[in-house]
Amino acid sequence: MSRPASGESRRFPARPLPGVSIACCRQGRVLLAQRGNPPFEGWWTFPGGLVEVGESLKDTARRELLEETGLIAEIGELVETFDIITRDDSETVEHHYILSLFLARADQGAAVAGDDAAAVVWIAPEEFDSVKLTPGTAERAMKALALAQG
């Protein structure tokens, strides 16, 4: 993920931070990245990151997919927009992201973990129970896979 604008913090932010996630599909599988940083460090989710000033959402998706997985893909339709809000023990908002999930297709190339992804894997729906997924990832992956199959 890219850094927030100067003076902004990801932890205990002053405002929600906009970002993208990419549901990259290939042959009935979706590409997931193991998070290398909080929140949800070590959990599996879609590659993605924060929007940089002057960057469109689709340009962010292309850049983040390349940085985190080494893949170049066609960025397709918006699957959905959702938020991630975590709170500390005192119920203070610790993280708040607004994420736009885009469908992507990468028909070739090997995915390799980069940037803040600890690992990447192509995974089929029947394998979702074998990894620790971030909240909502399985449902969003199923939706994206259905859209990818047309």
- 38-65 tens-digit pLDDT: 888 999 999 999 999 999 999 999 999 9
Could you give all domains of the chain from N- to C-terminal order, each with its CATH number?
A: 17-148 (3.90.79.10)
- 12-28 tens-digit pLDDT: 999 999 999 999 999 99
Q: What is the DSSP string of the chain?
A: -PPPSTT--SSS-SS-EEEEEEEEEETTEEEEEEE-SSSSTT-EE--EEEPPTT--HHHHHHHHHHHHH----EEEEEEEEEEEEEE-TT--EEEEEEEEEEEEE--SS-----TTEEEEEEE-GGGGGGS-BPTTHHHHHHHHHHHHT-
pTM, full prediction: 0.90
